Amino acid sequence: MVRLREAQFDDFPKIDALKRRHGLFSPSFSDWKRLWTDNPLVLEYGSIWPIGWVLEEESGQIVGYLGNIPMTYELGPRKVIAMAANAWVVDEDYRSSAILLLAKFFSQKSPELFLATTVSYTAGMAFKGFGAQKVPSPDYDQVLFAVSNYRGLGRAILRKKSLPFHNVLGNLVDFWLRIYELFTRLPKKINLNNDITITTADLFDDRFDEFWQRLKQQRHKLMFVRDKKNLNWHFKYIFSNNQGWLSICEKDSQIMGYAIFARSDDYNLGLRRARLADLQALGDQADSIMSSLLIHGIETCKNHKVHLLESVGFEATKRSLIKKYLRLQRKYPTWPYFYKVREVSLHKILEKEDYWDPSTIDGDASL
């Protein structure tokens, strides 16, 4: 027998143990708690939403969990309250009750949009059972990437294959991959105006409020709110733990564009990997600015001995530009991004690909 109830902050040690039993990432208590206590939407409306739900066994052990993270989106002038599912995990002996957690998630009345952006195959089937749909971005299960450290990548690949002498063989792989690189060079650096510079930061300042106002006026798409307070909340863990960086393209102290990079390392393989979480630019040189930010991101990966730079999603035109620099491709084993809309008029809009620019800034994919 299990009991379904709302999760509490005091449940963290047992939730942490549950996640670790299943090999899931689990942050510190303070980093986990701030997803709600520092959340701009919670600070605006108060703690009116559960932080999640747990399945509790008779002895008091937590055997199932689903996190519930409020997020603010906008579509043109319309504010959209979204809920992101996070870390749905249930012990094997209690999987028959796992659907109770998802039923609670989708039974919430106030959210207009439900997001699940890190979904396994089995979870995806369950989400579809509750009416969730794949995000209408046909290439979202295709990962674009560029190699920034061939030797490290070669060793990680050989380690995955469990081959002996992976360090020595990694050097040989490095040699042949460098030969391959000679015939597949990246486009040349973009010539921006002399008064446009690219800098690296780990904090979003007041300029992002002004940039967000300009961005949402020019992009009539569903977007996570990218103002100063929301971006600092969303990426606080990544930047405070040295797990990513922010590249800003600016002119006369005004932001012209930016890119956010988040580390996504595979510690078992020793694979050092970064992922493009967001890429935005405005003005006549928008494409050139985004190209420069991508080149700067690859160079930053090389300088920090990161093996790969990856990108997932983005609208079609932006993705075509990214492909010029992240020219290799692999496929996810399953579709990771599902959504559900409660209101009919919004549902009809979001069925169209034109209203999306999805990336790992959405939901919990980069939290």
In a 10 Å sphere around its CB, with 0-12 CB exposed, 13-18 middle and 19+ buried, how is residue 274 labelled?
buried
Instruction: Give a yes or no: residue 218 inside a domain.
Output: yes
What's 295's domain CATH number? 3.40.630.30
What percentage of the chain has pLDDT greater than the value 90?
82
Phi, psi (degrees; rounded to nearest 5) at 11: -80, -5
Judgement on whether residues 202 and 310 belong to the same structural domain of the protein: yes
Judgement on whether residues 208 and 297 belong to the same structural domain of the protein: yes
Judgement on whether residues 70 and 215 belong to the same structural domain of the protein: no
**Model pLDDT for residues 249-306, shown as the tens digit of each residue:** 999 989 999 999 999 988 888 889 999 999 999 998 999 999 999 999 999 999 999 9
- Once rounded to an integer, what is the mean pLDDT over residues 216-231? 96
Structure tokens that stand for 337 in this block: 């991004």
Length of the chain: 367
Greatest CA separation found in the chain? 68
Instruction: State the pLDDT at residue 159.
Output: 67
Distance CA 246, CA 293 (A): 10
Instruction: Give a yes or no: residue 302 inside a domain.
Output: yes
Instruction: Give a yes or no: residue 357 inside a domain.
Output: no
Q: Which residues of 187-196 are buried (b: 16+ CB within 10 A; e: fewer)?
A: eeeeebeeeb
Question: Among the listed ranges 8-17, 153-162, 355-364, which one has the minimum average pLDDT value?
Answer: 153-162
End-to-end CA distance of the chain: 33
Judgement on whether residues 68 and 25 belong to the same structural domain of the protein: yes
Instruction: State the pLDDT at residue 305.
Output: 92
Instruction: State the pLDDT at residue 109.
Output: 94
With 0.85 as the threshold, say if the pTM is over it: yes
Judgement on whether residues 23 and 68 belong to the same structural domain of the protein: yes
The position carrying tokens 């405070």 is 240
User: What residue numbers bound the domain in which 110 lies?
Assistant: 2-134
Position 183 confidence tier, pLDDT thresholds 50, 70, 90 = low
The mean of the pLDDT values for the chain is: 91
Judgement on whether residues 219 and 305 belong to the same structural domain of the protein: yes
Residue 355 and residue 349 in contact, taking contact as beta carbons nearer than 8 Å: yes
Residue 326 and residue 279 in contact, taking contact as beta carbons nearer than 8 Å: no
Distance CA 226, CA 281 (A): 13
Judgement on whether residues 119 and 22 belong to the same structural domain of the protein: yes
Residue 356 and residue 221 in contact, taking contact as beta carbons nearer than 8 Å: yes
* Number of domains, the chain: 2
Instruction: Give a yes or no: residue 269 inside a domain.
Output: yes
Instruction: Give a yes or no: residue 343 inside a domain.
Output: no
Instruction: Give a yes or no: residue 308 inside a domain.
Output: yes
Structure tokens that stand for 288 in this block: 């050139």
Instruction: Give a yes or no: residue 361 inside a domain.
Output: no
Distance CA 272, CA 27 (A): 19
Q: Which of 237, 219, 207 is nearest to 356 (CA)?
A: 219
Half-sphere exposure of 248 (CA within 13 A, CB side): 17
Q: Which of 40, 102, 109 is nearest to 74 (CA)?
A: 40
Q: Which residue(s) pair with 180 in the sheet?
A: none
Judgement on whether residues 146 and 109 belong to the same structural domain of the protein: no
